[in-house]
Amino acid sequence: MSAAPFRHVAVIGLGLLGGSVLRAVQQYLPDSVTTGYDADAGVRARAREIALAGTVADSASEAVTGADLVVLCVPVGAMGAAAKAMASGLSPQTLVTDVGSSKASVMAQLGEALPGHPVIPSHPVAGTEQSGPDAGFATLFRNRWCIVTPPEDADAAQVAALNAFWEALGARVETMDPEHHDRVLAVTSHLPHLIAYTIVGTASDLEEVTQSEVIKYSAGGFRDFTRIAASDPTMWRDVFLSNREAVLEMLQRFTEDLTELQKAIRKRDGDALFDHFARTRAIRRGIIEMGQDDARPDFGRSDHNGSG
C-alpha cells in the first residue's frame, strides 16, 4: 500500500458525509490520524461513543491543530462560519476542502474566511437520505464520482494529493471549473431534489387524497420521490440558495419542456410522447452502464448505494 496522501485528516461536521469520510479513512488509510468536531455537543458525545474519529475535539480550532487536510462537512450556508471558527488552529500549509454540493459560493465563502490559505473545494457525488453521526459508513464513496474544483492558482502537488485522497476512499475523481460544476449539478442533482420535494408536497396537500392513501398506494415512482424528499432540509435549503442562479436557469428549461409535454398530452400526440420517453430511457441505460446505479428493481438500495 502506498503512503497516505495526508498524515492527519480533520473533519468538521460529523453527519452522514463527515462520518463516512472518517470511516473511510479508518478503513482505507489506517495510517492516517483522524480528528473530528461538530458544533452540536450531543453529536460530539455520540461520535465519541461510536469511535467515529481517533479524537473528537471540543472546538473546531482544536480539531484542526496539526492537520494537513481539513474536510468541511457542514451545510454550504455554514461553510464560512465553520472556516472562521477553525482558522486559529490551522497551519499555513494545511489544505482545506469540503463536500458541498455547490462550489462557486463555497469558494467565495472560504476565500473570505481564510484569505491566502490553500483551499481546493470538492464534491463527492454520494449520499443517502440518512443523517447524523450513526449514518456514516466507509464504502459510501466507492465507485462514486468526486468532483474537485481547484482555483486557477492552486498548487499542483496539493491538487494531486487531494485527488489521491478521494481515490483512496474509492471515488472516481473528475476536475472541473466551479461555475461549470454548479450548472451540471443544478440539472443532475439540485433540480431533481426540487421536483421531489414539490411532488411529495403536492400529494400531501391534496385534500381529496388522504395521507393514508398516499402512503398505502405508493407506487415505485412516488416511493423514489419520497426517498429523495427525505434528505436533510437544512442542507438542501442552503444548496438552493447558494446555487440560486444555476438552479433557476435549469428550472426555467425544465418548465419549458414540461409545457411541451403538457401540450402533447392535451393534443393526444402519442408520437411526441413516445419519442420523448424513448430518448430519456436511453439516458437511464447510460447511467447503469457507467456503474452509477443498479439495474435491479430496487436499484440496489439495500447495499447503501445512494445519490447526492
Q: The domain spanning residue 84 has which CATH number?
A: 3.40.50.720
Residue 285 within a domain? no
Query: What is the predicted pLDDT for the residue at 301?
Result: 44
Q: Are residues 166 and 34 in the same domain?
A: yes
Query: What is the predicted pLDDT for the residue at 202?
Result: 82
Residue 129 within a domain? yes
Query: What is the predicted pLDDT for the residue at 206?
Result: 72
Instruction: Give Cβ neighbours of residue 182 (< 8 Å, ≥ 6 apart).
Output: 102, 103, 104, 243, 246
Q: Are residues 100 and 206 in the same domain?
A: no
Query: What is the predicted pLDDT for the residue at 295?
Result: 57
Query: What is the predicted pLDDT for the residue at 199?
Result: 85
Residue 211 within a domain? yes
Q: What is the mean pLDDT of each run of 10 residues along the chain (308 residues)?
A: 83 96 96 96 96 96 97 93 96 95 90 94 84 90 94 94 97 92 86 88 71 69 80 84 88 91 94 89 72 53 42
Q: Are residues 18 and 86 in the same domain?
A: yes
Q: Are residues 67 and 51 in the same domain?
A: yes
Query: What is the predicted pLDDT for the residue at 209?
Result: 63
Q: Are residues 215 and 158 in the same domain?
A: no
Three-state DSSP at 158 gives helix
Domain boundary among 119, 145, 176: 176
Q: Are residues 221 and 171 in the same domain?
A: no
Q: Are residues 199 and 263 in the same domain?
A: yes
Query: What is the predicted pLDDT for the residue at 1?
Result: 45
Residue 307 within a domain? no
Q: Which amino acid is at 303?
A: D
Number of domains in the chain: 2
Q: Are residues 134 and 262 in the same domain?
A: no
Q: Are residues 51 and 107 in the same domain?
A: yes
Residue 243 within a domain? yes
d(Cα 15, Cα 65) in Å, to the nearest integer? 21
- Domain residues for the domain of 199 are 180-267
**Residue spans of alpha helices (H) in the chain:** 16-28, 41-49, 60-64, 79-86, 104-113, 156-168, 178-185, 191-205, 211-216, 220-229, 233-242, 244-266, 270-289
